Amino acid sequence: MCTSIAMKTNDFYFGRTMDIEYNFKERVVFTPRNYPITFRKGGTIKRHYAMIGMGTVIDCYPLYAEAANEKGLCIAGLNFPDNAYYPPEEAQDKTNISPFEIILWLLSQCATVAETKELLSRTNLIGIPFSKDIPLAPLHWHIADKECSITLEITKNGTKVYDNPLRVLTNNPSFDFQMVNLSQYTNLTTGCSENCFSESGIQPFGQGLGSFGLPGDYSPASRFVKAAYLNLNSACENDEQSSISQFFHMLGAVSMVRGSVITKENKYDITTYTCCINASKGIYYYNTYNNNQITAVNMNRENLNGSNLREFPLVTSQRIFWAN
């Protein structure tokens, strides 16, 4: 359960909520240009674009949940259970890449969505887990640059790359359903509602009735509609602070409060962290469920030409500014 958004003001911003019932030792991870990345079937890339994102590092390997590279290309993997399918067969005419490698594979080599599409046409996703103790997560991916956005899905029906003009993504069902589902909400407006009911002089009794019917539940389809509505109608100043504030407000509108969603295992599904990446400047902003204060890590303050990973543990304790 997650929601991702791509937004553009003066700079390009990309981020997501991580809605999950557990922690996976996540931290902000910076991968410099000269950190070798080895793929199970795709060889080793010794020099590549630098990147930053949230993930976990296992056996010196950065496993990203979402990340952006120095060129401004961004990718987030979102849960896609019962739909994601990774074939076990290798393709002879393509490079075979495991889903846990796909963010590194694309961000290491591509600067734009157009380049990503071209590389994907030469890539086959194959069902190789990271290890016997770490199975493959069922995912689909939101990929975006400052100009456009796509959704990548691999199911039993094959690989689909969808243009994503709404620049948002959630979870099930598949992206084509989400787009059709939006047709039920074409009546929504940010302005005042009109009386189409009768000519008896009925008047709206308050602001916001133009969006009456906008979903408020936590299902993926409803979060998709709400995130799309907010992103399409976002009104924001172009400066950095306004853009960051707006981005966190939009994702906050689809975030999960502890106790609102309980899994079949009787665990609380919550928004463990929310992030906003200024992909134009390489700055990763985040807050966590227990710490509303925004923390930032600037990729360009690191050695882009380095050869060692940098890991930044999350600040999870609430920070409060005392005014007296």
pLDDT in tens, 171-191: 999 999 999 999 999 988 888
The percent helix, strand, coil of the chain (3-state, each to 5) is: 20, 35, 50
How far lies 316's CA from each of 65, 109, 246, 283, 313, in Å?
Answer: 18, 33, 22, 19, 9
CA separation for the pair 11, 296 (Å, rounded)? 16
74 catalytic? Reply is: no
Query: Which of the residue ranges 55-64, 155-164, 193-202, 239-248 would you say has the lowest mean pLDDT?
Result: 193-202
Backbone phi, psi, residue 193, to 5°: -75, 150
User: Would you give the DSSP letter of residue 9?
Assistant: S
Q: Provide the pLDDT for residue 111.
A: 98
Q: Provide the pLDDT for residue 70.
A: 98
Which residues, other chains included, contact 245 with Cβ-Cβ below 8 Å and sequence gap of 6+?
none
Q: Provide the pLDDT for residue 191.
A: 84
What sign does the CA torsion over 302, 304, 305, 308 have?
positive
Instruction: Taking residues 152-171, report their average pLDDT.
Output: 97
In this structure, which amino acid lies at residue 240? E
Query: Which of the residue ranges 53-67, 195-209, 262-276 would you say has the lowest mean pLDDT?
Result: 195-209
Radius of gyration for the alpha carbons in the chain, expressed in angstroms and rounded:
20
First and final C-alpha spacing in the chain: 40
Q: Which of 2, 74, 110, 276 is catalytic?
A: 2
Q: Provide the pLDDT for residue 22.
A: 83
Q: Provide the pLDDT for residue 161.
A: 98
Q: Provide the pLDDT for residue 271.
A: 97
Q: Provide the pLDDT for residue 36.
A: 98
Over 90: is that where the pLDDT of 209 sits?
Answer: no
What sign does the CA torsion over 180, 185, 190, 195 have?
positive
Contact 244, 14 (CB under 8 A): no
The token pair at 3 is 């929601």
Which residues, other chains included, contact 266 with Cβ-Cβ below 8 Å and sequence gap of 6+?
none
Over 90: is that where the pLDDT of 197 sits?
Answer: no
Nearest to 272 by CA among 3, 87, 22, 85: 22
- Exposed / middle / buried, residue 321 (Cβ in 10 Å: 0-12, 13-18, 19+): exposed
Contact 65, 277 (CB under 8 A): no
Contact 258, 270 (CB under 8 A): yes
Q: Provide the pLDDT for residue 291.
A: 97
Mean pLDDT score of the chain, rounded to an integer? 95
Higher pLDDT, 197 or 192: 192
Q: Provide the pLDDT for residue 258.
A: 95
Helices assigned H by DSSP within the chain? 102-107, 113-120, 175-181, 220-232, 240-252
215 confidence band (pLDDT: 50, 70, 90)? very high
Q: Provide the pLDDT for residue 24.
A: 87
Instruction: Taking residues 143-155, report their average pLDDT.
Output: 97
The token pair at 306 is 């380095």
Q: Provide the pLDDT for residue 199.
A: 72
Instruction: Taking residues 278-286, report their average pLDDT.
Output: 98
CA separation for the pair 129, 63 (Å, rounded)? 12
The token pair at 179 is 């787009």
